[in-house]
Amino acid sequence: MSRAACAAAPTGGEAFWRTRRVAVTGGAGFLGSFVVEKLCESGAAEVIVPRSCHYDLRAGEDIRRMLADVRPDVVIHLAARVGGIGANRAHPAEFFYDNLMMGVQLFHECWSAGVEKFTSVGTVCSYPKFARIPFVEEDLWGGYPEETNAPYGLAKKMLLVQAQAYRDQYGTRSVYLLPVNLYGPRDDFDPKSSHVIPALIRKCLEAQERGEAQIVVWGTGNATREFLYVEDAAEGIVLATERHDDCDPVNLGSGMEIRIRDLVRMIAKATGFAGEIVWDGSQPDGQPRRCLDTSRAKKLFGFEARTGFEEGLERMVRWYREHR
């Protein structure tokens, strides 16, 4: 377990945060590290990151021990087993079990312990495979998710069901957010588990270093995705926790849709890779299109993405060059 040294000057949300102890599960990870920083900037009284080496959040007794040790007023649940299409296809049972068991037990034990507020961070993978574009929250139950990541998406979706049930029966205060694909510094660049942007950045840079004339990319390139810069996502999570008080789902996104073919060209340009791009159509594209309607987040807690995609991509490439 680690405690954040919140030395930054508090900003606008200080009145809410200055008396609250916040536990951020997954707070040492990619998104979590930025959420911890945003909480410190907002003036949180104390930010605590329970580490998996001390508490296995799949085990009820470990969750209860963590809550007794930390005594949080607010819990932001970011801990998850995540990965790209390859990881989801290779480990569907683990992606379902680990995410379901972490989420539903943690939520229940937080209710039992009297935690004031719980923020669940779900996933765009929960949306139906052929949802209308842009995805609106009301369509979340309109069909089955895309098959390659359905176990993960459905496990995370159960936290929404739980949040609504506990609100109806117990009056539990919680927030449920649906972010799109995230990207930015500190992302996971491991080929076995990375998502599309870090995987492509690494592939382009390593191809250059080895003097290779081409890279091979999964799928046809015709699918589309929306991406949200990780710092913007962290700001949205903190704002929602502070200002919002309803557990109905809320999208977090940038409102920008891009074809994978165009994405690969942008990454090649950003990394300086000038070789050929070969498409492996024997591999899946994943969900055909992804683009969110983000109007609810703006209306309910004033969130809008601020980082342009090209700018965020350049920051990410620069960070990876410096830290790899």
Domains of the chain: 2-182+228-256+289-306 (3.40.50.720)
Residue 58 in this model has a pLDDT that exceeds 60: yes
Residue 203 confidence (pLDDT): 97
What confidence tens digit (pLDDT) does each residue in 82-124 have? 998 999 999 999 999 999 999 999 999 999 999 999 999 999 9
183 labelled catalytic: no
The tokens for 86 are: 């390859």
State mean pLDDT over 220-239.
Answer: 98
- Vertex 263 angle, CA 261 and 266, to 5°: 115
Whether residue 202 contacts residue 194, with contact meaning beta carbons closer than 8 Å, is answered with yes
Q: Report the pLDDT value the prediction gives residue 222, as an integer from 0 to 100.
A: 97
Please say if the pLDDT value at position 12 is more than 70: no
pTM of the model: 0.95
Number of Cβ within a 10 Å radius of residue 125:
26
Tell me, what's the pLDDT at 9? 46
Q: Over 60: is that where the pLDDT of 255 sits?
A: yes
Exactly one of 55, 127, 152, 166 is catalytic; which is it? 152
Backbone angles phi, psi at 226, to 5 degrees: -120, 140
Chain centre distance of CA 82: 9
Tell whether the model's pLDDT for residue 277 goes beyond 50: yes
Question: What is the average pLDDT value for the chain, to the nearest integer?
Answer: 95
- Residue 225's nearest CA partner among 84, 48, 91 is 84
Measured in whole angstroms, the distance separating CA 246 from the mean position of its chain's CA atoms is 20
Overall average pLDDT of the 140-152 stretch: 97
